[in-house]
Amino acid sequence: MKTDLAIIGQGAVTPAGLGVEPLLLGKTSPVVIEELSAPGQGWPVLRVDLKHPRFVRWQREPRLRRASPVTFFLVEAAAQALGDASSEDCAQTGLIVAYCAGCLMYSRRFFEQIVRQGQRAASPALFPETVFNSPASHVAAVLGLSGAAYALVGDEAAWVSAVITASIWLKEERVKQVLVLGADEFDALALDAYRSVRWLRRTKSPAPFLTSEGAAGLLLRAAGPNDTARITRATDGFIYRTKAEAVCAAQEMIGACDPNLPAFRTAEHNWLGPIEDRALRHRPLAPSAPYLGEAFAASAAWRTLQAAALLSPALRRRLVPAWGLNHQFGSLELTTAK
């Protein structure tokens, strides 16, 4: 994608709080959660406070009475990004949501009942809330978004793919503006998976991997002459299957970008950190931002909002890589007008 998208709205739900400001403060307190398969084996996890008054508001919505946590994360981030948009604008707003695991908590509960009690235990009330389209449909219905809607599934780079999809919709004038959201929720099942691939380790490293959850979003439109914050380039599709292929994909992705463009580091706390170091070693680095854990598309979205907030007249452009933990890489170029 080589086109200008104006960022006209932002929203975030993080373990540090709601809104963009907590993204820059990064004050979080991990809680210890035990693995399902190994009671007593606990790991620090960053959780969103669902008792926040803003979530209480959404929990009163009749349509959301059975909704999963990721739905509440999404609808709150979306409402923040939309701001005071009119009903007419909402009717012309497209919606794209990027996930990795999606409604993980309800999916685990649904299949756990079947495994333990047989097919008769399958809950017809629970199943609709396990599919990836469900949270997106709730967001569209509750907020009155009548434009095109789409759900993408992947790793961190799915966030970039969602932005590229938004640019296509805007270029084709399918909608007036697009709300792009990245989200994931936590369930203890994830700890078993992350430990099995050795993302979780007992280490004294000052930068440990932390499992997280939440959402963030951008409201985008085709940029006009008076728009300041912009996405001016997006790339994805740098796919890998092995560590050696990941090294090559990282070099290819970074090599395709302007060598003078300062990069925002985003992989310091996961297994791709050394690969990121190698790919960025000859490139200027932009100031970093607080770490809020790993939540796939949600954390890629957080890092984009952090990078956008830290743009300034002295640092007008920034490269934000999305280092997908298990599939592919992508990147966004952010720019602020003079």
Which of the residue ranges 32-36, 113-117, 165-169, 257-261 would you say has the lowest mean pLDDT?
113-117
User: What confidence score (pLDDT) does residue 1 get?
Assistant: 60
Taking the C-alpha atoms of 14, 17, 19 and 25 in order, what is their torsion angle to the nearest 10 degrees?
-90
Percent above pLDDT 70 for the chain:
98
Summarised one tens digit per residue, pLDDT across range 223-238 is 998 889 999 999 999 9
User: What confidence score (pLDDT) does residue 204 get?
Assistant: 64
Proportion of the chain in helix, strand, coil states, percent, rounded to 5? 35, 25, 40
Which of the residue ranges 32-41, 153-162, 251-260, 319-328 would you say has the lowest mean pLDDT?
32-41
User: What confidence score (pLDDT) does residue 129 get?
Assistant: 84
Q: Are strands 5-14 and 229-239 parallel, antiparallel or unpaired?
A: antiparallel
Lookup result for tokens 């997106």 = 136
Query: 3-state class of 258 per DSSP?
Result: coil
Q: What is the mean pLDDT of residues 11-36?
A: 94
User: What confidence score (pLDDT) does residue 300 get?
Assistant: 98
CATH class of 229-336: alpha beta
Residue type, position 124, single letter: P
Which of the residue ranges 158-162, 198-202, 259-263 would you say has the lowest mean pLDDT?
198-202
Q: Is the pLDDT of residue 3 over 80?
A: no
Q: Is the pLDDT of residue 336 over 70?
A: yes
Q: Are strands 93-99 and 177-184 parallel, antiparallel or unpaired?
A: parallel
Whether the CB-CB separation of 80 and 19 falls below 8 Å is answered with: yes
Q: Which residue has the higher pLDDT, 191 or 40?
A: 191
Lookup result for tokens 């990027």 = 98
DSSP string, 152-205: EE-STTHHHHHHHHHHHHHHTTS-SEEEEEEEE---THHHHHHHHTT-S-----
Q: What is the mean pLDDT of residues 192-202?
A: 90
Rounded distance, CA 227 to CA 248, Å? 36
User: What confidence score (pLDDT) does residue 39 get?
Assistant: 86
User: What confidence score (pLDDT) does residue 320 get?
Assistant: 97
CA neighbor of 301 nearest in space, from 1, 7, 3:
7
Average pLDDT, the chain: 93
Which of the residue ranges 62-66, 68-72, 121-125, 147-151 would you say has the lowest mean pLDDT?
121-125
Decide which of 3.30.160.60, 3.40.190.10, 3.40.50.300, 3.40.47.10 is the CATH code for 5-222.
Answer: 3.40.47.10
What residue spans in the chain does CATH classification 3.40.47.10 cover? 5-222, 229-336
Summarised one tens digit per residue, pLDDT across range 258-281 is 999 999 999 999 999 999 999 999
Q: Is the pLDDT of residue 308 over 90?
A: yes
Q: Which residue has the higher pLDDT, 203 or 13?
A: 13
Percent above pLDDT 90 for the chain:
79
Q: Is the pLDDT of residue 210 over 90?
A: yes
Q: What is the mean pLDDT of residues 13-31?
A: 94
User: What confidence score (pLDDT) does residue 118 get?
Assistant: 86
pTM over 0.85: yes
Q: What is the mean pLDDT of residues 94-113?
A: 90
